[in-house]
Amino acid sequence: MSYHKIVHIGPSGNVGTPVHKALVDSGKFEITVLSRKESKFTSSNPSVKVIKVDFTNHQELVETLKGNEAVVITIGLREVEATTKALIDASIDAGVKRIIPGEFGVDTHTQPGQSQTIYSPHHKIDEYLTGKSAAGVIEYTTINTGPFFNWGLIVPHHLLGFDIPNKKATLYNGGTLRWNTSNVETIGASVVSVFSTPEKFKNKNLLISDFYISQKEILAILEEETGSKFEITETDADKMEEDAEAGLRRGEWNFPNILGAVLGSMFSSKGACGWGENDDSASLGLEKKDLRTEIKKAI
Ligand SMILES: NC(=O)c1ccc[n+]([C@@H]2O[C@H](COP(=O)([O-])OP(=O)(O)OC[C@H]3O[C@@H](n4cnc5c(N)ncnc54)[C@H](OP(=O)(O)O)[C@@H]3O)[C@@H](O)[C@H]2O)c1
C-alpha cells in the first residue's frame, strides 16, 4: 500500500527540485519539507508544510518526523553524512518506516564505486543504514541513476563533456565507453514509484536509467542537430581519476579533485556507471526515452 505522509529534505537542489515537483505533481502524498534555519525554500504548492529545523537537535527532529511514514534526502555530497545520520537516528525514534538516502549517481554498492574515495560519505551512510535495517528498526531503498543526463548536458562544468554553445567536446578515453544515465525528471518519478509501492522496494539498492550510451553516440546527434562539427579534446580518464582520488585521499576535497574523481568514476575504464540495459527501471514503471528527442529538448 502506498505511503501517504512523507518528508523531503533538500527540495531546492539539483535533484531535489525535480524530486519535489514529482512528489507534488503525483498528488499522492501529504508532504512535509524540513529545511535549515537559513533556507529560503518555498514550495510551489501551498499544501506542502515547510518546517525549519536544527538538524543537530535530535529531539526537535524526532518531534517533527513523528506521524510520517517515509523520508527522502536530496542534499549535496559535502553536507550529506552528518545530516543523514542524524535523520536516520531521529526517524527510528519517530517511527518512520523507510528512508531513501541521498545517493542518485554512481553505483556505490558494488565495485568499483564501493571503494572510490569520492563516495566515502555514501559508503559510511550505507554501512550505518544497512546496520540499522539489519537490526529491524528501519527500512531503506537506495536509487542510483548514473550521471544526470539533461542536467549534465548543459551545466557549466560540462559533466558529460559537452560545451554545446561553443561547439566543443572533451572525450574521455576516446568516448566509446557506455554508461547509464537518467534525466532528472526520471529520478523524481522513481521516488514517487518507491513511495507508491514501498513493499516491492524494501531494503533494495535500485539502479535506474533512461539511456545506456557513450559520449560518441551523444556527439553524433549533437553534431547533426546543431549542424556543427565539434572541436574535440581527448582526455585520459584513468589518469584524471587516479590523480583526483589521490588528492582526496590526502584530504584535499577541493573542486578540481571532486570533479576529477566524479568524472573519472563515470568515464574511466573501470566504468562505475555502466550497469547495462537491464536495470530496475521497468520494475519502477519508468518508460524508456528516445535519445535524440531528449537531446533536442535539453539543448
Ligand atoms: N549523478 C549526477 O550527475 C549527480 C549530479 C549532482 C548531484 N548528484 C547527487 O545527488 C545528491 C544531491 O546533490 P545535489 O547536487 O542535488 O545537491 P545540492 O544541489 O547541493 O542540494 C542542495 C539542497 O540541499 C539542502 N541542504 C544542503 N545542505 C543541507 C544541510 N546541511 N541540511 C539540510 N539541507 C541541506 C539545500 O537546502 P537549502 O539551501 O534550502 O537550505 C538544498 O535544498 C547527492 O548525493 C549528489 O552526489 C548526482
> Per-residue pLDDT for the chain (299 aa), expressed as one digit of tens each?
899 999 999 999 999 999 999 999 999 999 999 999 999 999 889 999 999 999 999 999 999 999 999 999 999 877 789 999 999 999 999 999 999 999 999 999 999 999 999 999 999 999 999 999 999 999 999 999 999 999 999 999 999 999 999 999 999 999 999 999 999 999 999 999 999 999 999 999 999 999 999 999 999 999 999 999 999 999 999 999 999 999 999 999 999 999 999 999 999 999 899 999 999 999 999 998 999 999 999 88
What is the number of the ligand 1 atom nearest to the C-alpha of 82? Answer: 31
- Ligand 1, atom 20, residue with closest C-alpha: 76
Distance 16 CA to ligand 1 centre (A): 7
Strand-pairing partners, residue 179, are 213
DSSP 70: E
**3-state secondary structure at position 292:** helix
Distance 222 CA to ligand 1 centre (A): 29
Please report the pLDDT score of residue 288 as a whole number: 84
Distance 82 CA to ligand 1 centre (A): 13
Strand-pairing partners, residue 32, are 7, 49
Please report the pLDDT score of residue 56 as a whole number: 96
Distance 233 CA to ligand 1 centre (A): 30
Please report the pLDDT score of residue 244 as a whole number: 98
- Ligand 1, atom 3, residue with closest C-alpha: 147
Please report the pLDDT score of residue 299 as a whole number: 87
Which of 99, 104, 151 is the best mutation target for the ligand 1 pocket, counting ligand atoms within 8 Å of the beta carbon and taking the most? 104
Query: CB–CB of 129/137 below 8 Å?
Result: no
Which of 9, 14, 71 is the best mutation target for the ligand 1 pocket, counting ligand atoms within 8 Å of the beta carbon and taking the most? 14
Strand-pairing partners, residue 98, are 70, 139
Distance 143 CA to ligand 1 centre (A): 15
Main-chain phi, psi angles of 186, to 5 degrees: -65, -35
Which residues does ligand 1 sit against, CB inside 6 Å?
9-16, 35-36, 39, 41, 55, 74-77, 79-80, 83, 102-105, 145, 147-148, 152, 159
Please report the pLDDT score of residue 44 as a whole number: 85
Cell representation of residue 281:
527501471
pTM, two decimal places: 0.96
- Ligand 1, atom 22, residue with closest C-alpha: 13
H/E segment holding residue 207: strand 204-207
Which of 37, 50, 75, 117 is the best mutation target for the ligand 1 pocket, counting ligand atoms within 8 Å of the beta carbon and taking the most? 75
What is the number of the ligand 1 atom nearest to the C-alpha of 11? Answer: 43
Distance 75 CA to ligand 1 centre (A): 3
CATH numbers and ranges of domains, the chain: 5-143+183-207 (3.40.50.720), 149-180+211-276+287-298 (3.90.25.10)
Residue type, 123: H
Angstrom distances, CA of residue 57 to CA of 77, 83, 279: 21, 11, 39
Strand-pairing partners, residue 172, are 235
Which of 7, 9, 15, 44 is the best mutation target for the ligand 1 pocket, counting ligand atoms within 8 Å of the beta carbon and taking the most? 15
